[in-house]
Amino acid sequence: MSFPWAKQYEPKLPLTRWLDERLPVPRLVYNSLGGGYPVPRNLNYFWNFGVLAGAALAIQIITGIVLAMHYAANGTVAFDSVESIMRDVNAGWFLRYAHANGASMFFIVVYTHIFRGLYYGSYKAPREMVWLLGVVIFLLMMATAFMGYVLPWGQMSFWGAQVITGFFSAIPLVGDTIRIWLLGGFAPDNAALNRFFSLHYLLPFVIAGVIILHIWALHIPGSNNPTGVDVKGEQDTVPFHPYYTAKDGFGLGIFLLIFASLLFFFPNYLGHPDNYIPANPLSTPAHIVPEWYFWPFYAILRAFTADFILPAKLWGVLAMFGSILLLFFLPWLDSSPVRSMNYRPKARIAFWVLVADIAILGYCGGAPATATYVILSQICAAYYFAHFLIILPIISRSERPRPLPNSITEAVLANHGGTSPAKTALATSTTSPAPHAAH
C-alpha cells in the first residue's frame, strides 16, 4: 500500500482466490499486518508496543465479555456479584484478576507507546493523523478505565465516581446541572452504575474502531523508525511478516510473562484495599486516590490551590483536561523538521526531564495531599505545561540538530561497523539507489 515495492497478495488456494475476488479480507490483512507491508528494518523494541497494545485490548475485551456474563450492575448486588465471580464462578478469580491487571498492563503498554512516539517524533508530518487518532484512543481508554473501576462498587469505585463527576461541577453556571445529568441523580447510585456499565461495554469496541483508523492512517506514510529518516528505497525496509511478526511474537512472550507474574502472584498490588469495602455513601475513605495510571493527572488537578481570576477548582479541572488536550496540538507545536530525538540534543534533554517530571507527578498523585507533595506537584505541573507549550516550540526553532544519516540502511550499517553516521555518510551513499533528500 505505502511503497511501490510492497509485495502483492497472491492467493494460492482456489478457495482464497475465490474469496479474494469477492471479499478480499485476506488481502487486507496481508497488506496491513502481513508480507505486503514494508516496514523500516531498523525498528527497536519500542516498536513492539503498538502490537502489544492491540493484544492488551483483545485481552480486555475477551475477559470483559466473559465477566459481563456474571456481573450485575445494580448497587445492591454489584459488589456481591463481583465476589461471587471471585469465589463461585469457575475460574472466575482468574478472569477477574486478568481483567483488573490487564487494564494496568494496557496502560503500561500504551504509555510506553506514547513516549516512543514523543521521543522519535512519530507525531510529526506526515503522521499527524496517526498521532491525533492515538490521542483519541487514549482519551477513550481513560474514560473506559474510569467507568470500569466504578463497576465493583467498592469504596474507591464510589468515591472515584463522586470525585470525577465532581470535575464537571466546576463548569460555571451549568456545572451542577451537567453533573446531575451525568449521574442520573444527586450522588452515584444505580442510575450511574448502569450507564457506566453500558458505556464500559460499548467504548472498547469504539476504541477498536478508532484503532483501525489509527492503523489505516499509519499505512499511508508507513512506520517511522529510530532515525526518523524517511524510507528511501527497498533496501531500507523488510516485510512486516515474517520479520516483525517474529519480533512481536517474542515481545508478546515478555509481555505475557510480566502480566502472568502480576496476575497470579501480586493480583492486588496495583489495586487499593479500600475497594474491597462495599460502597458506603456516608463515609469517605481517609485517603482516596484513583488507579495508578491516572496519578500524574490527579497530581496536576491537586496542584491548583489558588484562586486567580477563576476559582482554583476550575483551574485544576481545566489544567487536567488541558494536559491531555494539548497533545492534539503537539504536531504543530514542535516545528523541528528532525523527528528523532537521537539527533536533537536539546529536545532530548527536555524529553528526559519530561519523563522524570511525569514520574514525579505520578508519585505525588498517589501520595496523600500533604504540603510537600503539593509543592512538588506544583513545580512539576508547571514544567509539564511549560515543556509542551513553551520550551519545545522554542527549542524546535533554536536548536541545531546533529547530522542525520542519509538513509536507514546507512545508519544500520554504521551501527554494525562501529562508525558514526556522519563519517560513513559519503562512503556508503553510493550503495543507496535513492537520491538523498535534504534534511
Of residues 243 through 262, those in contact with another protein by CB under 8 A are 243, 246-247, 249-250, 252-254, 256-257, 260-261
Measuring CA to CA, which residue among 267, 416, 270, 422 is closest to residue 342?
Answer: 422
Interface characters, 78-107, with another protein (x: CB under 8 A): --x--xx-xxxxxxxxxx-x----------
Q: Which residues contact 426 (CB under 8 A, 6 or more apart)?
A: none
330-369: which residues touch another protein (CB under 8 A)? Answer: 332-333, 335
Q: What is the DSSP letter of 310?
A: B
Q: What is d(CA 434, CA 233) in angstroms, rounded to the nearest whole number?
A: 6
Given the complex with another protein, which of 184 and 189 has the nearer CB atom? 189
Indicate the residue among 23 and 375 with the shorter CB distance to another protein. Answer: 375
Site for another protein in 370-389 (CB under 8 A): 370-371, 374-375, 378-379, 381-382, 385-386, 388-389
Catalytic site includes residue 80: no
The answer to whether 223 is a known catalytic residue is yes
- Of these residues, 247, 313, 399, 439, which one is catalytic? 247
Instruction: Please say if 122 is a catalytic residue.
Output: no
Active site residue 219: yes
Least distance CB 10 / another protein (angstroms): 12
Phi/psi at 397 (nearest 5 deg)? -95, -35
Task: Give the total of residues touching another protein (CB under 8 A).
Answer: 88
Q: Which residues of 252-274 are buried (b: 16+ CB within 10 A; e: fewer)?
A: beebeeebeebbeeebeebbbeb
Footprint of another protein on 4-63 (CB under 8 A)? 35, 41-43, 62
d(CA 154, CA 280): 8
Distance of closest approach, residue 198 Cβ to another protein, in angstroms: 22
Contact 432, 410 (CB under 8 A): yes
**Among candidates 193, 114, 105, which has minimal Cα distance to 147?**
193
Q: Check 236, 248, 274, 410 and give the catalytic one.
A: 248
247 is catalytic: yes
Q: Which is nearer to another protein, 12 or 416 (CB)?
A: 416
Residue with the three cell numbers 476550575: 314
Cell numbers describing residue 291: 488507579
As a 3-state breakdown, the chain gives helix, strand, coil percent values, each rounded to 5, of 65, 0, 30
- Least distance (Å) from another protein to the CB of residue 267? 7
**What residues numbered 156-215 form the site for another protein, per CB under 8 A?**
none
> Which of 219, 232, 241, 272 does the annotation list as catalytic?
219
Shortest spacing between CB 71 and another protein, in angstroms: 12
Smallest separation, CB 387 to another protein (Å): 9
Ordered alpha helix ranges (H), 326-420: 330-333, 345-366, 371-386, 392-398, 408-417
* Closest-CA residue to 312 (of 141, 170, 109, 179): 170
Distance between CA atoms of residues 39 and 237, nearest Å: 5
One of 30, 197, 292, 304 touching another protein (CB under 8 A):
304
CB nearer to another protein: pick between 162 and 225: 225
Q: Which residues carry out catalysis?
A: 219, 223, 247-248, 291
